[in-house]
Chain A
């Protein structure tokens, strides 16, 4: 810009002091130049139109793309591996399956609290057979109590109430209690698995395993 004369007083606005590339941009306003500036190569700040860039297949770009793909696949594989690493194969947790005595041990119409402490389930014997309800309130996960005098399950935390069937009828509980799998072992004992659950609102209470018919 050293060759430029001071701003022309006839021009309405003085030009900004930032130098513009003289070759690339067309000059709308005539700029008075005392001597021709040496021809400078235009700086390329934009790719030419329709330039495929790295996708122009020559040897260099092929190697570049291969390198990037290798790097990306390494990153993806490592991420998947690290994620899988965080899912343990072996759990050091109490078993969810347990034996709950023989069918004859239960009295018709009674709710058994026997396995509530250890496994958090009730086993209920009705006229037709058995079902087990998981003692986790569907509101916020407290442990409800069986109240024989009121013939209902009652949660001490926020007052949710459930019938003996497990259907909720009072308090904030949004859905019935869940049932756990119940069946018989080969030697005729009742077996309960709390990791297999049946939800009433999903129509799962009719499914095999949700109810054990008494066969004598």
Chain B
């Protein structure tokens, strides 16, 4: 019965090789899988050493995946308008099945991701992994740190409670002092910047934190910033491979 099933076109199109533990099948398992084949064929011994890498880059990526999934789930109950946002957050926390779990996963993963990205950066600095030929990837990493912080900041407004509104009020007040583009920054007034046409106005969609701000931050948080971050992550991982995998101790120095 099972043997005849194994001979069907459907089975053969899904499972493309036998399961015997041979070198060939092991290689096929990796090569025939779109996700596994993205991994390098071989890595250096130190690249698997947690004491060397701390695993922080990988953990950051894992947290990003968790945040994407839990974030999409939260979007089913959250409406980004001033009328409903706070109520929906309360609803999620009190009456939605597994709502508190999903929201807290999102919240804690977000806090953790800021931490792991910084620790990842710290490790890269300590091991000198920003040095040639990896300078470009360091710059990509700095952009990713910035995007992580922006994602964290924009998500902070979405509960729409007093804490988030005032935190974002204080945070976006910094934009007033942007050189040239802020109405209180150097050369801003000379260029005709007012509270209702400067960079902060663009950010808030108004002259103060209000309903347009909530919508802007929501779209930025759920669509714009994650997509940009994903693009930079692709470049980041691709550069790791192109620059010879995870950096290690200087082989030439050791030999001398």
Contacts and interface: CB of A to CB of B under 8 A. Distances in A.
Interface stretch (B106-114, B145-153, B194-202): B194-202
A83 B197 CA distance: 12
B217 to A, nearest CB: 13
Interface of A is mostly: loop
Interface in A85-101: 86-88, 91-93
A195 interface: yes
Contacts of B212: 88, 92
Contacts of B87: none
B195 A87 contact: no
Contacts of A83: 202
A22 interface: no
A202 B211 CA distance: 33
Q: Which of B169, B173, B196 has the most CB of A within 10 A?
A: B196
A141 interface: yes
Contacts of A86: 202, 205
Contact of B196 (A92, A140, A195): A195
A87 B201 contact: yes
B173 A141 contact: yes
A148 to B, nearest CB: 28
A92 B169 CA distance: 18
Given A88-B212, A141-B170, A93 B201 contact: no
A87 B202 contact: yes
A175 to B, nearest CB: 11
A99 B208 CA distance: 22
B173 A87 contact: no
A24 to B, nearest CB: 28
Contact of B211 (A87, A92, A195): A92
Contacts of B185: none
B206 interface: yes
Nearest to B194: A195
Interface of B: 169-170, 173, 195-197, 201-202, 205-208, 210-212
B173 A93 contact: no
A145 B210 CA distance: 25
Interface string A31-67: 0000000000000000000000000000000000000
Contacts of B211: 92
Contact of B169 (A87, A88, A93, A141): A141
Nearest to A83: B202
Nearest to B210: A93
Nearest to A141: B173
Nearest to A140: B170
Given A93-B207, A195-B196, 4 more contacts: A88-B206, A91-B196, A141-B169, A141-B173
B224 to A, nearest CB: 11
A140 B196 CA distance: 20
Given A87-B197, A141-B170, A141-B173, A93 B208 contact: yes
A88 B205 CA distance: 7
A135 B170 CA distance: 16
Interface string A91-131: 11100000000000000000000000000000000000000
B169 A195 contact: no
A93 B212 CA distance: 10
Interface string A5-31: 000000000000000000000000000
